[in-house]
Amino acid sequence: MSTGSRIALAIGLFLILCLIALVALIAVVSLVAGGGFHLGGDRIALLRVEGFIGDLEREVDLARQYADDSRIRAIVVRIDTGGGAVGASQELYQELLRAAGQKPVVISMGNVAASGGYYVALAGDTIFANPGTVTGSIGVLFTHVDTSGLLDERLGLHFTEVTSRENKDMGSIWGPLDDADRALIEEMIGDVHRQFVAAVREQRAGAIRRALAGDASAEAQITDEAIDEHIASLCDGRPFTGEQALSWGFIDALGNLNDAIDHAARAAGITGEPNVVEWQPRHGLLGPLVQSVTRDALHAVREEVRPRAGLRYEMTR
């Protein structure tokens, strides 16, 4: 083989190796940036639920992935929200319950974990909160806006809705809420509130029994009726502090996110410093700046125009 041929072959091999290395690098960076790849063996997944609960599709999908991934030994859910949509709260609650049947699910409450946020927290095996965390607010909210005065008197606009049945336009913003509509809405609110209370009863009865007894030897004396009365007296929409929630049996321990992670590691049998992994969205060079501006803008718009005529597990401000 001539010298020229050897040089050409070497250059060709070098280019092929560079191409393979580039492809491998792109794959690794893509996986890491997308939250789908992490070094190490057993790990704890951190799932965050923050802001107004409107659409938790991503969180629901992540909860299922973490539950089915054998490398994930436990899930810690960090909650910082005053609640939101009923259906979304219930969807994540159900998915986390499914996960809790396979591995430890530990809840860490931040500044606020109220209403729909507390509903989600009920799926955890153990619930941590800070002493001053605002939680509870177990209730249902429905807001009706009547725009007829503005449209008729100020703008001269008149809206007519033709419906298939008399209740089809219940809660319409084009007119006042009449007695029949109010009665139907109150019936719906009562049923959705009953669902919330039932979840509290199902998930927290044992802790509430211990809280009411004050001593393990007295637990047998606490009747189911006493537990039901305790829950009913506190599930009236009032917010609690973390300390109050602990004394009443609505959470399990006081502590921060690190305490929750350490507890999850012990529950999963992980020794040493736990390897915590968290899904992160992919960003370009300007990604963090664009995301920050977009998030702030969407938050401002949402606070002004988000639909109010819907049932919400949300703490009012």
Residues labelled as active-site residues: 115, 168
d(C-alpha 118, C-alpha 122), whole Å: 6
Rounded CA-CA distance 277/43 in Å is 7
Q: What is the DSSP letter of 83?
A: E
Q: Are 171 and 144 in contact (CB under 8 A)?
A: yes
The answer to whether the CB of 92 falls within 8 A of the CB of 59 is: yes
d(CA 290, CA 150): 37
Residue 107 burial class via C-beta count within 10 angstroms: exposed 0-12, middle 13-18, buried 19 and up: buried
Burial class of residue 130 (count of CB atoms within 10 Å of its CB; 0-12, 13-18, 19+): buried
Smallest CA-to-CA distance from 68 within 95, 28, 107 is with: 95
Phi (first) and psi of residue 84, to 5 degrees: 160, -135
139 neighbors 192 (Cβ within 8 angstroms):
no
Per-residue CA distances from 209 to 69, 136, 178, 250 (Å): 34, 18, 43, 11
According to DSSP, residue 155 is labeled I
Query: HSE (CB half, 13 Å, CA atoms) of 173?
Result: 11
